[in-house]
Chains A and B, each alone.
Chain A
Amino acid sequence: MNWTWFHRLGSPKWFYGISGRWLPLLIAATVLLVCAGLVWGLAIAPADYQQGNSFRIMYIHVPASFLAQSIYISMAICGVVGLVWKMKIADVALQQSAPIGAWMAFVSLLTGAIWGKPTWGAYWVWDARLTAMLILLFLYFGVIALGQAISNRDSAARACAVLAVVGVINIPIIKYSVEWWNTLHQPASFTLTEKPAMPASMWVPLLLMVLGFYCFYTVVLLMRMRLEILRRESRTSWVRAEVTRLTGRKK
């Protein structure tokens, strides 16, 4: 297998160039998928026979919950890459992912609370999946706080990587222990192996929204990473040239 693409990732300049070319495509995909999913899900899809129209918040809630979990796993993968290959890009990706993940966990909890009131009769119940999401939010806060507390940039990145890896080993343990403790939430709406219990007119827009949210995450992550790279490499000549080109004035 050809690994040159992986080694090239070690160069911030190469990454900046290639991500700049990918961004417009990803932005277009995000806008298309999210608009299609929202219109289809909120206006065209049929109302639920039990929950009426309140189920439509699912089109935000489910993708946000998916993303909140996958972002943490991707952070741990970045952490391993950063620890093993000492790759700067992985460090940047880890630290820039954490706030996005925290926001997604927050959105998931918020929409869940709004959805819970008409469905269960309470904004918050101490149910396994809700509690696990809340704990995930705290794990994100931990990574963000640790990254900000350590002033040395390389040490902060490595400390966050260790924490993310320890956290990701703990996530399954936390998930199963909490599920054992109490469960009320419906099982996952989507699994890769089984056919969904919903009709196609409901799950196709959900699938579009999930894909759209993943694209959205990639777009936001790439933008944040590009900004961070410009900040970190601000002393190099290519960044100076790039900033001059973008702002149109000499520094």
Chain B
Amino acid sequence: MNRVFFLLLVREARLMFRRPGELVNPLVFFAIVICLFPLAVGPETQLLRTLSPGLVWVAALLAVLLSLDGLFRSDFEDGSLEQWVVSPHPLGVLVLAKVLAHWLFSGLPLVLLSPVLALMLGLPADRIPVLLASLLLGTPILSLLGAVGAALTVGLKRGGILLTLLILPLYIPVLILGSGVLQAALQGLPTAGYLLWMGSMLTLAITLTPLAIAAGIKISVGE
């Protein structure tokens, strides 16, 4: 089973590197959304600094959401999903590999890009480790929860907007904790509690969401 998991990761990596555009698009989206806010609310440093935790998190959330629409689409269209469903391997493990690959190629680059954009918004440089920790713990949760919605809507013609409607309410706790940890760091308060909460939510998501994603895929394939 570990071998299948690994092989699936390698396959996803190969597919992704054959179309590097898909790797870059969410990053560009992330950067553009961040640039929109100073243009909209004005270039005052103090205002942007207080807003920066929320801005970085909302932009990261939207970028992940945008990349989720195509998560299962090509596999659904070429029949790979059906092969997964009929294969003897547990579907939960297969989708976990898929989501992990998705996070490695869309979530992780976002995390790596975020310090630059946060510095542009005026977040003090010594708070960057907290930002990285919160995004590292938070973006996998976003990928996992979003995959549930993506699995349920993959068979639909215009699933994109529906996916947003289904998933955004579920993202709220991550958003609150993720930007909360940065707010606390900006005010010089301890942040370990928030990070531990995010860690436990991540554990819960890794444990439970593969079951829901697998159920969603079975429904979409069976239709």
Contact = CB atoms under 8 A, between A and B. Distances in A.
B137 to A, nearest CB: 14
A198 interface: no
A169 B215 CA distance: 16
Interface string A130-167: 00000100110110011001101001001100110111
Interface stretch (A6-14, A17-25, A174-182): A174-182
A170 B165 contact: no
A169 B219 contact: no
B176 A155 contact: no
B169 interface: yes
A162 B218 CA distance: 11
Interface string A23-51: 00000000000000000000000000000
A83 interface: yes
Contacts of A125: none
What does DSSP make chain A's interface, helix, strand, loop or mixed? helix
B152 interface: yes
Contacts of A173: 173, 201
B176 A181 contact: yes
Contact of B212 (A141, A142, A165, A178): A165
A48 B212 CA distance: 48
B93 interface: no
B86 interface: no
Contact of A135 (B152, B165, B172, B177): B172
Contacts of A180: 176, 180
A159 B219 contact: yes
Contacts of B209: 166
Contacts of B166: 142, 145-146, 163
B165 A142 contact: yes
A62 B173 CA distance: 25
Contacts, number: 74
Contacts of A142: 165-166, 169
A213 B156 CA distance: 37
- Of A155, A162, A181, the most chain B CB neighbours within 10 A belong to A162
A146 B216 CA distance: 12
A71 B223 CA distance: 28
A167 B180 CA distance: 23
Nearest to A141: B165
B168 interface: yes
Interface in B148-204: 148, 152-153, 155-156, 159, 162, 165-166, 168-170, 172-173, 176-177, 180, 201
B180 A159 contact: no
B170 A170 contact: yes
B25 to A, nearest CB: 25
A162 B212 contact: yes
A106 to B, nearest CB: 15
B208 interface: yes
A166 B156 contact: no
6 closest A-B pairs by beta carbon, nearest first, are A177-B173, A155-B223, A138-B169, A142-B166, A177-B176, A173-B173
Interface of B: 148, 152-153, 155-156, 159, 162, 165-166, 168-170, 172-173, 176-177, 180, 201, 208-209, 212, 215-216, 219-220, 222-223
Given A138-B168, A149-B162, 14 more contacts: A139-B169, A142-B169, A145-B162, A145-B165, A149-B156, A158-B215, A162-B152, A162-B212, A166-B148, A166-B170, A167-B170, A173-B173, A174-B172, A178-B172
28 contacts: A135-B169, A135-B172, A138-B165, A138-B169, A142-B165, A145-B165, A150-B156, A150-B223, A155-B219, A158-B215, A158-B219, A159-B152, A159-B219, A162-B215, A162-B216, A162-B219, A163-B148, A167-B169, A170-B169, A170-B170, A170-B173, A174-B169, A177-B172, A177-B173, A177-B177, A178-B173, A178-B176, A181-B180
